[in-house]
Amino acid sequence: MEVKHTDMQSHSSALDRPAHPGIFPTREAGKSDHQLAERSVDFLVSVVLPAGGTGERTGLQTPKQFFPCLGRPLLSYTIQAFERVSWIQSIVVTVAKENMDLMTDIIQRFQHRKVRAVPGGSTRHRSICNGVLALGEGGAEERPADRPKVVIIHDAVRPFVEEDFLYKIAMAAKEQGCSESDFEFGTDCLHLALQYCGTNAKLIQGPPMLWKVTYKPDLAAAESIIKETLSQSACVITGGSAQAVTLADALQKSLNMELDVVPDLMGENARYLLKEWNFIQVSVNRSCLSEVEAILTDLEATNRALLHPLVVIWVHLSSSDELSIRGGMVEPAAIVDLASAAKHRNILLYGIQLHQSKDAERWERSVLNVAEIMSALIQERSPALVGQLLQA
């Protein structure tokens, strides 16, 4: 029987990691929810995330688990990956004492609900031990039935972890159990855990995809993966305009992402507000931004930009020949102010001005140009460029 642990095989994990080291943010936008929902785990599973590192090796002032990726600490992505798994009951993060306040702040700010922070110990093993012991501290009213049956110990700096994999782990751990003889490699703290919590703790070997963020380039890679997963789908809101629908259809051919076209975000379409979509509002011959304002209000109401910066692109399609390409009616100050306010709520608003040419070739070029600009805006998520009214 093997003793396994997610952080015991970093050597091979860095080497063997696959093209896509995880699909976690995709899940929200993707279509696998249904499939996963069928799976259920009928016993209690908890997680310990040791996050006591000091970040010495990264060359960064901030320990790597707290390093911001798109404005959110890496650790929060890892927490999110576990938190969204319905059958995971609770998560304990162990952090160095000096980072307890920071950790508490992160839990509050990103509204993590299943998470508790406890101080780590002087070694990694002691930290894990503290974490496992904390799981058993259910207070006076705790019954043995509340104790987790399986404890997953997972490196806080491996954010790309999939529900599928966790399911397999949990099932295997449950079936296989965990006897004392399993602990071979200095896992004395788990003996303690076994003794004091009455919990079957099992060290689980992570698959190659559990890629570990160790150095500065890894952070760039992680950010790039997160950006990529956030750039897989956009919802085009046409306001019911035939011209806007034509543009959306043309974009569908040029944009390398899933594109859904809807007249508005009312009724059933409101579901887009809850998923990881980007939003493209097309306004035809209307320079007013009221439709964009409505989207921003909706997004704020659903708290959608809490975990990721969200992209909203306003496309002003002018079809009148009298308007100059430069935009005629559009008042740039309006979008600047709106974007500036939205940025504080983690929503990135950009504008694109597009003139509907009657010349087919010219129109095609413009559409390609719009598609290229949209891809860049969505993928790069540059906060510096919000409020700009770009020309296509």
Residues near a second copy, by CB under 8 A: 10-12, 14-15, 17-21, 58-60, 211, 214-218, 220-225, 325-326, 332-333, 336, 372-373, 375-376, 380, 382-385, 387-391
Residue whose CB is less far from a second copy, 1 or 325: 325
Q: What share of the chain is helix, strand, coil (3-state, %, to 5)?
A: 45, 15, 40
Write down the least CB distance from residue 113 to a second copy, Å.
Answer: 29
Shortest Cβ 169–a second copy spacing (Å)? 23
DSSP 95-155: E-GGGHHHHHHHHHHTT-SSEEEEE--SSHHHHHHHHHHHHH---TT--GGGS-SEEEE--
Residue identified by tokens 């009298």 is 322
Residues in the chain, how many? 392
Which of residues 112 and 381 has its CB atom nearest to a second copy in the complex?
A: 381
| Min separation Cβ 363 and a second copy, Å | 16
Shortest distance, position 382 Cβ to a second copy, whole Å: 5
Min dist CB 53 to a second copy, Å, is: 14
Q: Choose between 253 and 365: whose C-beta lies nearer to a second copy.
A: 365
Q: Which is nearer to a second copy, 265 or 373 (CB)?
A: 373
Which CB sits closer to a second copy, 218 or 276? 218
In the bound complex, what is the minimum distance in angstroms from residue 65's beta carbon to a second copy? 16
Query: Which residue lies nearer to a second copy by CB, 186 or 217?
Result: 217
Which structure tokens are listed for 112?
Answer: 């993590």
CB atoms within 10 A of CB 65: 27
CB neighbour list of residue 214: distance below 8 Å, 6 or more residues apart? 10, 14, 57, 58, 64, 157
**For a second copy, the closer CB: 5 or 202:** 5
- Name the one residue in this structure whose structure tokens are 């039935």: 145
| Token output for 294 | 């409505």
**Nearer to a second copy among residue 14 and residue 270 (C-beta):** 14
Residue 300, both tokens: 């704020």
Token pair in block for residue 267: 């009724």
- Which residues, at least 6 apart from 202, have a Cβ–Cβ distance to it below 8 Å? 4, 150, 151, 173, 176, 178, 182
Smallest distance, a second copy to C-beta of residue 24, A: 14
Nearest CA to 277 among 138, 378, 381? 378
The minimum distance between CB 326 and a second copy, in angstroms, equals 6
